[in-house]
Amino acid sequence: MTTADLARPSSGGADPLAAAREVIPGGVNSATRLVGPPHALAGASGAYVTDTEGRRYLDYHAAFGAILLGHAAPEVDGAVLSAIGGLDLVGWGVTAPEIELARLVTEVIPSAEQTISTMSGSEATAQAVRLSRAVTGRPLIVKFQGGFHGWHDAVARNVISKPERAYGSDPLSSGILPEALASTLIAEFNDLDSVRALYEAHPDRIAAVIMEPIPHNVGALVPTREFAEGLRALTAEQGSLLIFDEVITGFRHALGGYQEICGVTPDLTTFGKAMGNGYPIAGLAGPRRLMEHFSSAGGDVLLAGTFNGNPVSSAAAIATITYLRDNPDFYERTRALGDRMRTGLDGICAELGIAATAAGFGGVFALYFTESPIRGYRDLMRNNDAAYVAFHRRMTDRGFLMLPLSLKRNHISAAHTAEDVDRTLEAARDVLRTIRADGLLSPAE
C-alpha cells in the first residue's frame, strides 16, 4: 500500500490500520493515537480533517494543540515551500532562518535573551533539566502531579495517575532506572506549601522546579496569582531555577506565552507545538548567563542535534510567529470563542442537571465531569473518567474530533468560527442527553 493509497478515500477496502500494524508496532507512532475511529486520516484544511473513508471532522484535537492557525495555513505553507526551494539541511555553521527565528523568540518571550532550537518539546525539556542541574550542581527536580514534560527519564512519571498511585511512584514506562525516577519529586499544583515541604525535606539539593504554567495535559488548571508569584520567590530564595514548560501555552495564549499574561518571569522557558503550526520545531530560552553554559558557547553542557535549527521548520515558525505578531486580534478572537464554548457547555449542563464544569483558558477548553472548584490534581481525582471519555468519543462519532482520553483538552484555532462553536454546542447537548440516559453521569447536587 502506497502513501497515495492511504490518502485515497475508500468504501471499505484495505484497512490502513491493519496495514500499518504489519510494519509499525501497534500501527501507530505514538500510543495516544490508538484511540478508535477514525483510524487513519487522509487530509486536513482549515478547521477540518478528513479520514480515509471520506468523512469530515471539525478538529478540536488539533494534533495536541500543534495546529494554531488552522491546517495548511497558507502563510506557513507558503514560507515552507520557499524554504524548500532555497535551502535544505546543511549541518554546518548557521543559516539565516535560524538567526531570524532566534531574534523573533528573544523579542517576544520575556525570559529570553538567548535561545536554542530543537525538534520536539521532549528534547527542549531534557535540555532544560540538564542545564539546571549543571548550573546549580544539584541533583533533584520538582514537578507537579499531572504535569507532562516529555518522554525522557527525568520527568516521565506522575501525569494522569490513578488515585492510588497519585503523588507516589507512577512511572510512565518500564525501562527507567529507579534512580532517575527518585531524582524527580512530586508536588501539588496551586499548593505552594507542598513545594516548600520538598525544599525542607531536601535542603540544597533541588536544582529546579519545572511546571506547565497551565497544566493542559490534564485539561486546564489555571494557577492563582499567589501560587505563580510565590513559586518564583521560593525558587529564587532557595537558589533553584524555575522552568516554565510552555510547550503548549507558548504562542497559544499570548505572543510571549503565559508568562506574559501572569507577569512572572521564569529562569528557563521551553516551547514548541504551536510555534510552527504543525511543523516539527521546539526550543529553550533563557538569560545569557545560563544559556552560555552550553558547549556551543564554550560551556560544559552538551548541545548537539543534527536537525536542530532545521531551516524548513524554522521558516514555519518564523511565519507563524510573524502572523501572530501582525494579527494581535487572533488572541482576542480565540479567547472569545473559548469563552463562548465554555459558557455554552456550562449552560447545557445546568439545563440538564449534570454535575460538570467547563474549564479552560483562551481557546483551550475541557469539560470536567465534576463540580468546581478545581484547582489541582486532587480535585481532578473526583472527575468521572467514564463520562469524560464517552463525551469525547460520542462527539467524535458525530463529526467533532475530540481525543477520547480522560482529561485531554480541546483547542480552538484561527480557522474556527462562531458558527462552528454553536454547532458543537448543539451536538454536545444531544450527546450529554444520551450519556445521561445511559447512566454515566452524576446528577448535579
For the segment 398-404, the average pLDDT, to the nearest whole number, is 98
Task: Give the Cα separation of 254 and 329 in Å (integer).
Answer: 11
Look at residue 90 in the predicted model and tell me its pLDDT.
87
Q: At the fourth CATH level, which superfamily is domain 3-65+330-437?
A: Aspartate Aminotransferase, domain 1 (3.90.1150.10)
Please name the fold of domain 74-326: Aspartate Aminotransferase; domain 2 (3.40.640)
Query: Which of 426, 265, 253, 274 has the alpha carbon at shortest distance from 328?
Result: 253
Look at residue 278 in the predicted model and tell me its pLDDT.
95
Query: Which of 121, 180, 119, 117 has the alpha carbon at shortest distance from 148?
Result: 121
Task: Give the Cα separation of 265 and 145 in Å (integer).
Answer: 22
Task: Give the Cα separation of 369 and 385 in Å (integer).
Answer: 8
Look at residue 443 in the predicted model and tell me its pLDDT.
56
> What is the percent of the chain with per-residue pLDDT over 90, rounded to a whole number?
93
DSSP 23-85: TSGGGSSSGGG-SSSS--EEEEEBTEEEETTS-EEEESSHHHHT-SS-BT-HHHHHHHHHHHH
**Preceding peptide of 74 cis, ω within 30°:** no
- 298-341 pLDDT, tens digit per residue, is 999 999 999 999 999 999 999 999 999 999 999 999 999 999 99
For the segment 408-415, the average pLDDT, to the nearest whole number, is 98
Name the segment(s) of the chain with CATH classification 3.40.640.10: 74-326
Helix pair angle (225-237, 192-201), 10° resolution: 20
Q: Tell the burial category of 173 from Cβ atoms under 10 Å away from its Cβ (0-12, 13-18, 19+).
A: exposed
Q: How confident is the model at residue 86 (pLDDT cuts 50, 70, 90)?
A: confident
Query: Which of 232, 220, 176 has the alpha carbon at shortest distance from 335?
Result: 220
- Cell 469525547, residue located: 392
- 350-385 pLDDT, tens digit per residue, is 999 999 999 999 999 999 999 989 999 999 999 999
Look at residue 5 in the predicted model and tell me its pLDDT.
42
Half-sphere exposure (CA, 13 Å, Cβ side) for 65? Answer: 25
Is residue 438 classed as helix, strand or coil in its secondary structure? coil
- 205-234 pLDDT, tens digit per residue, is 999 999 999 999 999 999 999 999 999 999
- 186-213 pLDDT, tens digit per residue, is 999 999 999 999 999 999 999 999 999 9
Length of the chain, in residues: 445
Cβ(115)–Cβ(291) under 8 Å?
A: yes
DSSP 129-174: HHHHHHHH---EEEEETT----SSTTT-B-SS--TTTTTS--BSSS
Look at residue 85 in the predicted model and tell me its pLDDT.
86
Number of Cβ within 10 Å of residue 429's Cβ equals 16
Tell me the range of 20-24, 86-90, 259-263 where mean pLDDT is highest.
259-263
DSSP 405-437: STT--EE--TT--HHHHHHHHHHHHHHHHHHHH
Q: And the C-alpha cell for 161?
A: 495517575
Q: Is the pTM of this model over 0.85?
A: yes
**Preceding peptide of 16 cis, ω within 30°:** no
Question: Given a cut of 80, is residue 11 above it in pLDDT?
Answer: no
Look at residue 442 in the predicted model and tell me its pLDDT.
62
Name the segment(s) of the chain with CATH classification 3.90.1150.10: 3-65+330-437
- 134-155 pLDDT, tens digit per residue, is 999 999 999 999 999 999 999 9
Look at residue 8 in the predicted model and tell me its pLDDT.
44
